[in-house]
C-alpha cells in the first residue's frame, strides 16, 4: 500500500500476520505434534516408557506387601504389564513406527509417590492399604491413557490397534477392580481395626 507524505512517497508492504502466543498460553516446542497421528505416536511412546517403568516398580510393591491377595494381584498384573508392552510394540509396528519410549513424567511421579508411601508406612496392613492406593492411582492413569489412545486409533482408522488397545484397557480396568476388592474385603478392614 502506498502512502503519501508532503515531502516523500514511501511504499509499505503488509507483513504476514505474526503468530503470537497469548499470555498464559504455552508456546509449543519446535517438534510439537501437528496432527492427531503425531499426537497418537507421541502418546504411545509415553505409555511405552510408563509400562516399562512399571515392570521395575511392581516387584518392589509386591515385596513390600503382606496380604497374599495383594501380592497375587500385583504379580498377576506384572505378567499382564509385560504382555501389554508386547502389545504396544505391535501397535507401533502396525502404524509403521519403531517402538521407542519417551519419559512419562506422570508415571514417574506416581511411582515416586508409591515409594514415598512405602517409606511413610509400617510393614503390614497399613502399608498394604497404601500400596493399593498408589496402585489404583497408577491404574486410573493407565485407564485414562489407554481409553484416549483407543479413541485416537479409531478416529485414525487403525482398527487392529483399536483391538489391541481395547484389550489392554480392559485389563487395566480389571486390575483396578481387583485392587478394590482386595481393599474392601480384607486390607482396609484390617487396617481400620488397628486404630
Please give the grid coordinates belonging to residue 149: 489412545
Is 2 a member of any domain? Answer: no
pTM for this predicted structure = 0.82
Q: Which domain holds residue 120?
A: 35-193
Which of the 8 DSSP states describes residue 34?
Answer: -
Nearest to 66 by CA among 182, 192, 171: 182
Q: How many domains does the chain have?
A: 1
Q: What is the CATH number of the domain that holds 127?
A: 1.20.1260.10
The answer to the question of residue 27 being in a domain is: no
DSSP state for residue 147 in the 8-state scheme: H
Cα Rg of the chain (Å, integer):
24
63 part of a folded domain: yes
- Report how far residue 193's alpha carbon sits from residue 185's, in angstroms, rounded to the nearest whole number: 13
Residues of the chain below pLDDT 70: 1-21, 28-34, 195
Specify the length of the chain in residues: 195
Q: What pLDDT, on the 0 to 100 scale, is given for residue 19?
A: 57
Residue 134 vs residues 58, 72, 110: alpha-carbon distances, Å: 11, 16, 7
Question: Max CA-CA distance within the chain?
Answer: 93
Residue 158 domain flag: yes
In this prediction, residue 33 carries a pLDDT of: 56
Q: Residue 6 domain-assigned?
A: no
Q: Are 81 and 116 in contact (CB under 8 A)?
A: no
- Domain assignment present for 151: yes
Amino acid at each position: 500500500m502506498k502512502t503519501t507524505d508532503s515531502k516523500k512517497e514511501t511504499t509499505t508492504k503488509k507483513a504476514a500476520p505474526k503468530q503470537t502466543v497469548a499470555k498464559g498460553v504455552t508456546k509449543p516446542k519446535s517438534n510439537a505434534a501437528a496432527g492427531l497421528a503425531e499426537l497418537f505416536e507421541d502418546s504411545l511412546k509415553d505409555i511405552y516408557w510408563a509400562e516399562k517403568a512399571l515392570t521395575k516398580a511392581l516387584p518392589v510393591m509386591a515385596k513390600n506387601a503382606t496380604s497374599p491377595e495383594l501380592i497375587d494381584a500385583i504379580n498377576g498384573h506384572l505378567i499382564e504389564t509385560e504382555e501389554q508392552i508386547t502389545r504396544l510394540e505391535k501397535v507401533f509396528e502396525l502404524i509403521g513406527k519403531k517402538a521407542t519410549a519417551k519419559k512419562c513424567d506422570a508415571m514417574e511421579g506416581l511411582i515416586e509417590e508409591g515409594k514415598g508411601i512405602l517409606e511413610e508406612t509400617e510393614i503390614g496392613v497399613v502399608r498394604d492399604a497404601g500400596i493399593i492406593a498408589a496402585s489404583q492411582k497408577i491404574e486410573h492413569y493407565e485407564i485414562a491413557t489407554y481409553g484416549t489412545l483407543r479413541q485416537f486409533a479409531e478416529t485414525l482408522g487403525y482398527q487392529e490397534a483399536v483391538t489391541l488397545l481395547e484389550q489392554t484397557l480392559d485389563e487395566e480396568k480389571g486390575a483396578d477392580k481387583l485392587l478394590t476388592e482386595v481393599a474392601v474385603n480384607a486390607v482396609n478392614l484390617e487396617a481400620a481395626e488397628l486404630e
